[in-house]
Amino acid sequence: MKILTVVLIFFTYIFSKEPIEPIPLSLSYDRQKALLGKRLFFEKLLSKDKTISCASCHRLKNGGADKNSFSKGIGGREGKINAPTVLNAYFNFKQFWNGRADTLKDQASGPVHSKDEMGMTKEQILKRLNSHPQYRKLFKKVFKTDKIGYDQIMEALAEFEKALYTPNSKFDRFLRGEAKLSPLEKKGYMLFKKLGCITCHNGVNIGGNSFQKMGLVIPYDKLALADRYQVTKEPKDRYVYKVPSLRNVTLTPPYFHDGSAKTLQEAINRVSYHNLGFKLSKKEIEAIIAFLKTLTGKRPDILK
Establish if 13 lies at the interface with another protein (CB under 8 A): yes
Residue 198 lies near another protein (rule: CB under 8 A): yes
Site for another protein in 19-48 (CB under 8 A): 19-21
Q: Return the sign of the alpha-carbon dihedral for residues 286, 291, 294, 300.
A: negative
Distances (CA, A) of 105 to 40, 87, 155, 162, 187: 13, 15, 6, 10, 39
Contact pick of 194, 262, 282, 298 for another protein (by CB under 8 A) = 194
Q: Which of 53, 88, 98, 202 binds another protein (CB under 8 A)?
A: 202
Note whether 71 and 79 are within 8 A (CB): yes
Catalytic residue among 43, 117, 155, 161: 117
The reply on whether position 277 binds another protein by CB under 8 A is yes
Looking at beta carbons only, is 1 or 223 nearer to another protein? 1
* Angstrom distance (rounded) from CA 254 to CA 272: 17
Burial 32-56 (b: 16+ CB within 10 A, else e): ebbbbbbbbbebebbbbeeebbbbb
Q: Does residue 195 bind another protein (CB under 8 A)?
A: yes
Subset of 78-107 contacting another protein (CB under 8 A): 93
Does 196 bind another protein (CB under 8 A)? Our answer is: yes
Under the binding rule (CB under 8 A), the answer on residue 200 touching another protein is yes
* Binding mask of the shown chain, residues 109 to 128, with x at each position contacting another protein by CB under 8 A: --------------------
Shortest spacing between CB 245 and another protein, in angstroms? 12
Residue choice 55, 126, 179, 216 for contact with another protein (CB under 8 A): 216
Active site residue 117: yes
The interface with another protein within residues 151-180 (CB under 8 A) comprises none
Q: Could you give the CA distance from residue 232 to residue 195 in angstroms, rounded to a whole number?
A: 30
Q: Which residues pair with 242 in a beta bridge?
A: 211
Does residue 247 bind another protein (CB under 8 A)?
A: no
Q: Does 211 bind another protein (CB under 8 A)?
A: yes
Q: How many CB atoms lie within 10 A of CB 9?
A: 9
Residue among 158, 164, 144 at smallest CA distance from 108: 158
The answer to whether residue 8 forms part of the interface with another protein (CB under 8 A) is yes
Rounded Cα–Cα distance for residues 167 and 247 (Å) = 10
Q: What CA–CA distance (Å, rounded) separates 157 from 33?
A: 8
- Footprint of another protein (CB under 8 A): 1, 4-5, 8-9, 11-16, 19-21, 93, 193-196, 198-200, 202-205, 209-213, 216-218, 232, 236, 240, 275-278
The residues annotated with a catalytic role in the active site are 117
